[in-house]
Amino acid sequence: MWPRARLFLQEALSSVSSNLSTTIAATMTVLIGMFLLGLFIALGTWVLSWTNDVKRQLVVNVYFCTDVTCENEVSRGQIEDIRSKLVSLPQVKDVQFISSEEALEIQRKRTPALVDNLASNPLPASYKVTPHKGEDVSKIAAQLEPVPPGVEKVNYGKKEADRVLQVAKIIGGIVLTGSLLLIAASILLISNTIRLSIFARRREVEVMKLVGATNWFVRGPFMLEGIITGLIGSILAVILLIVAKEVALSKIVERDWLSNDDVSALSFPLIALTLVLTSLLVGAAGSGITLRRFLRI
Amino acid sequence: MTDTSVETPVLTAPEHGENGARGTGTPMIVFEAVTKIYDPNIVALRDVSLTIDKGEFVFLVGPSGSGKSTMMRLLLKELEPTSGRIIIGGRELNRLKRSKVPMLRRNMGCVFQDFKLLSNRTAFENVAYALKVQGDSRSAIRTKVPEVLGLVGLGSKMSQMPDELSGGEQQRVSIARAFVNHPPLLICDEPTGNLDPDTSVGIMQLLYRINRTGTTVVMATHDREMVDKMRRRVIALDDGVVMRDERRGSYVA
Ligand SMILES: Nc1ncnc2c1ncn2[C@@H]1O[C@H](COP(=O)(O)OP(=O)(O)OP(=O)(O)O)[C@@H](O)[C@H]1O
Ligand SMILES: [Mg+2]
């Protein structure tokens, strides 16, 4: 088996060098296809991660009665009752109590001028209820319907939340179909380039068969050539992606709205591995499948 | 170069051809009512039946389009007959498994009318390919290839590409490739078609010597002078039909 593998490699390498222009064309095709795919996967997973982060910020606010907003101020017992009810809900991840003083502090940070002119604290105490999934905020709010005693109102920013969730869904769809389309397009593009180069050499295949080469003896070097092309093309694409990441992305990430630690793309080594494996597979399978019809001699 | 007692699973050369001109009595090639019709409706061979014995030297003559190349392509199992049976070395080609076809071809040297050289390989590599397909070692290739290329007079042009060789030189590379394995059966489609008379005689002498070692040689040709001079078996085809089959024949009846 080993001398045969060496022979295949020699044949493949000499074929690569004697068909240099088609090899370069095929390599460039792989390079472009895989670069775009890599870019798309990186951007796509980053955007997905960003929408997830936005979804994570969706919460349900339960505002308690003050003596101004209701007839009676909320009691400790009522606050505890509502907590235990919320905690028992399967969708709820966390319940955080925010006293009216804390609410004022938060407000002071946002709009200092407004708060400084207040005679007394008009803000109610509240629960900030964090769901496991952003989509569940409406369900949690529905559990507090009708409003239990001691609660003034339940608010989850219905309109905002609905919009965020819708946008997230659309982005997810775009990323998924885009990736699939791009994968399909690059597979088609690469295998078509391989097809063309094999078509140009079908006489060669015919001669090989007529002097007694087995199908595998013909196929081996061709498939190895496809693998070499795929390997070089995808490695170049990965290098290009690294350069793009270092040069372009580093400048954008300086901006604060992007520099969120909770938002990140699929890890780069994983993307690189995906690209290299995809091109290897397409290179080998593309050559093998295209050759089939010419081997029937 | 004179030893061709290569034992092979598919075909075997006879022990020794005591007289190269005549067969040994065991058939090498049998055609049984073979008809070949090309796709729309072109009849290339019509009900051809013949037997060629091991060790024979046979000329296949006939006008252009009479079906000579078609016979060779059928022997290589490059084509399937429309009807009838072809038997080579006791093996029926119709029944031969696809996986056994490479084996058959390795035991059958073939000089093609259009040479069929690999255009991006040197003369040396073209001949070497026929050895590589059967797994010969590099050292065996390094000794056998120059030897056979020297024999056809191309010892000094081994590293030239086919398009750097003349038609006659390409033809000789093709002959070298067909013979480098010392196959028990050699089929040649106009091997002297592009050669000057002197070189033609040289190639004929080479084929004759190859035949003397027991190799069966079937040669399609238009070379009337050569056929008349050699006085070997002549099978004449016309429009796909065997018109004549003479033991010591001539080009025309
Ligand atoms: N692939 C093909 N498809 C259709 N018809 C073909 C094909 N190959 C050959 N023919 C036809 O079959 C007939 C026999 O052709 P063949 O090549 O066997 O002739 P030949 O005796 O070798 O001629 P030449 O002496 O010119 O080489 C011819 O009429 C030719 O046109
Ligand atoms: Mg012909």
Give the model confidence (pLDDT) of B64-96 as tens digits.
999 999 999 999 999 999 999 999 999 999 999
- Residues A67 and A44 both lie in one domain: no
One domain for residues A40 and A175: yes
The pLDDT of residue B122:
94
Q: Do B133 and A211 touch (CB under 8 A)?
A: yes
Residue where a domain terminates, one of A128, A155, A182: A155
Assess whether A75 and A136 both reside in one domain: yes
- Asked if A212 and B78 come within 8 Å (Cβ–Cβ), the reply is no
- Same domain? A251 vs A146: no
pTM for the full predicted model: 0.75
- Window B:66-95, CB contacts with A under 8 Å: 76, 78
Query: Among A7, A34, A13, A4, which residue's Cα sits nearest to residue A230?
Result: A34
- Which of A23-32, B172-181, B183-192 is predicted with the least confidence, judged by mean pLDDT? A23-32
Q: B133–A7: do the CB atoms touch at under 8 Å?
A: no
For residues A218 and B79, what is the distance between their CA atoms, to the nearest angstrom? 20
Note the pLDDT of residue B189: 93
A112 Cβ under 8 Å from any chain B Cβ: no
Examine the domain organization and report whether A241 and A114 are in the same domain. no
Domain that holds residue A208: 2-54+164-295
Residue of B115, B114, B55, B50 lying closest to B86 (CA atoms):
B50
B201 Cα to the center of ligand 1, angstroms: 27
Based on the domain organization, do A148 and A185 belong to the same domain? Answer: no
Mean predicted confidence (pLDDT) in B201-227? 89
Sort strands A126-131 and A60-64 into parallel, antiparallel or unpaired.
antiparallel
CATH number where A72 lies:
3.30.70.3040
pLDDT in tens, B233-251: 999 999 999 999 988 888 8
- At A159, the pLDDT band (50, 70, 90 cuts) reads confident
Structural domain ending residue among the three candidates A155, A184, A216: A155
Burial class (CB in 10 A: 0-12, 13-18, 19+), B54: buried
Same domain? For A93 and A143 the reply is: yes
Kindly state whether residues A151 and A173 are assigned to the same domain.
Answer: no
- Among A79-83, A163-167, B82-86, B109-113, the range with the most confident prediction by mean pLDDT is B82-86
Number of independent structural domains in chain A: 2
Domain identity same for A148 and A168: no
Q: Does A20 touch chain B (CB under 8 A)?
A: no
Residue to test with chain A: of B88, B98, B132, B163, most A Cβ within 10 A: B132
Relative to the CA of B62, which ligand 1 atom is closest? 21
Check CB contact under 8 Å for A212 and B117.
no
Among protein residues, the one with the nearest Cα to ligand 1's atom 1 is B38
Question: Is residue B70 in contact with ligand 1, taking CB distance under 6 Å?
Answer: yes
Could you tell me the two tokens for A286? 């593309």
State whether the beta carbon of B68 lies less than 6 angstroms from ligand 1.
Answer: yes
Decide: B65 in ligand 1 pocket, CB within 6 A. Answer: yes
Q: Do residues A170 and A132 both lie within one domain?
A: no
